[in-house]
Amino acid sequence: MGRAAQAVIHLSAIRHNYRLAKRLASGAQAIAVVKADAYGHGSAEVARFLEPETVAFGVACIEEALELRASGITKPILLLEGFFTEDELAVVSANNFWTAVHRPEQITWIEQAVLTQPLNVWLKMDSGMHRLGMAPETYAAEFKRLKASPNVESVVLMSHLACADELESAYTYQQIAAFDQATSDLDAPHSIANSPATLGWPSLHRDWVRPGLMLYGASPFEDAHEYADQLMPAMTLQSEVIAIREILAGDAVGYGASFRADKPMRIGTVAMGYGDGYPRHAVTGTPVMVNGQRTRIIGRVSMDMCGVDLTDIAGVEIGATVEFWGANLAVEEVAKHCGTIPYTLLTCVTKRVPRVYC
Ligand SMILES: *Cc1c(COP(=O)(O)O)cnc(C)c1O
């Protein structure tokens, strides 16, 4: 009934992908990263499904972590972006959240806090990405401050990589050298690997890996990859053809009349647009599947609709299923056509699109 736009979420694919991360990093523990509503897949549903398999979850911030607690998740939840104000610490401690710490003031707040339980802190080093983290030169001193505080139960040594999706990147080797040198005298577990490092950099698995994107079945790599190719896509974004028209050579389709037919064509109008999160950057020629057959987007994507080329595919009627990405059309390929990455396509599917779990 009603508008057919939906995102079908294959929870068993997410489990398969999580198990692949665990198998590849078999000496490490794996945090399931479910920030940004589990990359658009629904964090409560994904976390509930994965909870029997995981040791902990990763989210960006306290708001996302509290949402998981409200939906019944009891395993530890790591705040990857840390906390922002001193008064959050009581919530962090009371809810068994683990937290990144990336600047010295946060350590002062921890030292001064009155807490119900001591904290599990992930001390972040800026090993070269220049986004968050302590400088390598001050890292050991900050570690010692944390270890000396009765408000700290344990510390994990953490960093994040700028170029892990480029296998054999010299920049990654530099970051690792900086990290290893600054931590050589510190006795604590390490955590460095995101999805690309979990898939492609075994020496960086260390004690805790933090896979995000790979759980949802998208490859972080530009090219084919032995392990990334074993991932199963978790989201199928689909809708239906709601109108069909025959156009003549010279006729235009869509806003701006930017597409002009050079021959008679059959055009399907589909209930899917940028108001659903399907990108307006999906220009004419972006691949799409209609009734299981590959064809292309025609004209500009509007807010609620877009056009698809039915000229050369047989038997399409109103109500035909259209897949925008999923099991039969890789989100990575669509992302490339749109000049973006699978991360943005998956996280930008809007609330208007019902998630259907299977
Ligand atoms: C988002 C995030 C991850 C997961 O990254 P993917 O590339 O999606 O695997 C890991 N670590 C940190 C600190 C993050 O912010």
Residues 22 and 159 in one domain: yes
What CATH number is attached to the domain comprising 54? 3.20.20.10
Q: Is the CB of 133 under 6 A from ligand 1?
A: no
pLDDT score of 60: 98
Annotated active-site residue in 144, 173, 255, 357 = 255
Residues 266 and 351 in one domain: yes
Q: Which of 185, 219, 253 is the last residue in one of the domains?
A: 219
Residues 184 and 43 in one domain: yes
Residues 164 and 270 in one domain: no
Rg (CA), the chain: 23
* Ligand 1 atom 1 nearest Cα: 212
Q: What is the mean pLDDT of the chain?
A: 97
- For 167, 177, 198, the CA distances from 170, given in Å and listed in that order, are 9, 11, 17
The proportion of the chain whose per-residue pLDDT surpasses 90, expressed as a percent, equals 99
Residues 213 and 260 in one domain: no
Q: Was 266 annotated as part of a binding site?
A: no
Q: Which residues of 36-55 are buried (b: 16+ CB within 10 A; e: fewer)?
A: bbbbbbbbbbbbebbbeebe
* pLDDT score of 1 more than 90: no
Q: Is 99 inside any structural domain?
A: yes
Q: Is 55 inside any structural domain?
A: yes
pLDDT in tens, 254-289: 999 999 999 999 999 999 999 999 999 999 999 999
Q: Which of 99, 210, 345 to mutate to test the pocket of ligand 1 (most atoms within 8 A of CB)?
A: 210
What CATH number is attached to the domain comprising 321? 2.40.37.10
* Ligand 1 atom 3 nearest Cα: 194
Residues 55 and 139 in one domain: yes
Q: Which of 191, 219, 247 is the last residue in one of the domains?
A: 219
8 Å CB contact between 217 and 17: yes
8 Å CB contact between 38 and 58: no
Q: Was 131 annotated as part of a binding site?
A: yes
DSSP 206: S
Q: Which of 162, 193, 219 is the last residue in one of the domains?
A: 219
For the beta carbon of residue 230, count every other beta carbon within 10 angstroms: 16
Residues 214 and 247 in one domain: no
Distance CA 162, CA 100 (A): 18
Question: Known catalytic residue: 227?
Answer: no
Question: Could you give the residue ranges of the DSSP H alpha helices within 43-101?
Answer: 43-50, 62-70, 88-94
Q: Residue 348: give the domain boundaries.
A: 235-357
Question: Could you give the residue ranges of the DSSP H alpha helices within the chain?
Answer: 11-24, 35-40, 43-50, 62-70, 88-94, 104-112, 136-148, 170-183, 195-200, 331-337, 342-347
Q: Is 21 inside any structural domain?
A: yes
* pLDDT score of 193 more than 90: yes
Residues 302 and 157 in one domain: no
Q: Is the CB of 194 under 6 A from ligand 1?
A: yes
Q: Is 224 inside any structural domain?
A: no
Residues 158 and 31 in one domain: yes
The domain total for the chain is 2
Question: Known catalytic residue: 35?
Answer: yes
Annotated active-site residue in 35, 274, 278, 343 = 35
Q: Is 331 inside any structural domain?
A: yes
* pLDDT score of 148 more than 90: yes
User: Residue 293: beta bridge partners?
Assistant: 290
- Identify residue 193 by its one-letter amino acid code: A
pLDDT in tens, 27-70: 999 999 999 999 999 999 999 999 999 999 999 999 999 999 99
Residues 31 and 155 in one domain: yes
232, exposed or middle or buried, with CB in 10 Å at 0-12, 13-18, 19+? middle
Q: What is the largest CA-CA distance in the chain?
A: 77
**Token pair of 136, please?**
């390598």
User: Residue 243: beta bridge partners?
Assistant: 269
Q: Is 5 inside any structural domain?
A: no
The proportion of the chain whose per-residue pLDDT surpasses 70, expressed as a percent, equals 100
Q: How confident is the model at residue 309 (pLDDT cuts 50, 70, 90)?
A: very high
Q: Is 44 inside any structural domain?
A: yes
Q: How far is the CA of 112 from the centre of ligand 1 (A)?
A: 30
**Token pair of 242, please?**
């709601």
Residues 31 and 131 in one domain: yes
Residues 271 and 201 in one domain: no
Q: Is 97 inside any structural domain?
A: yes
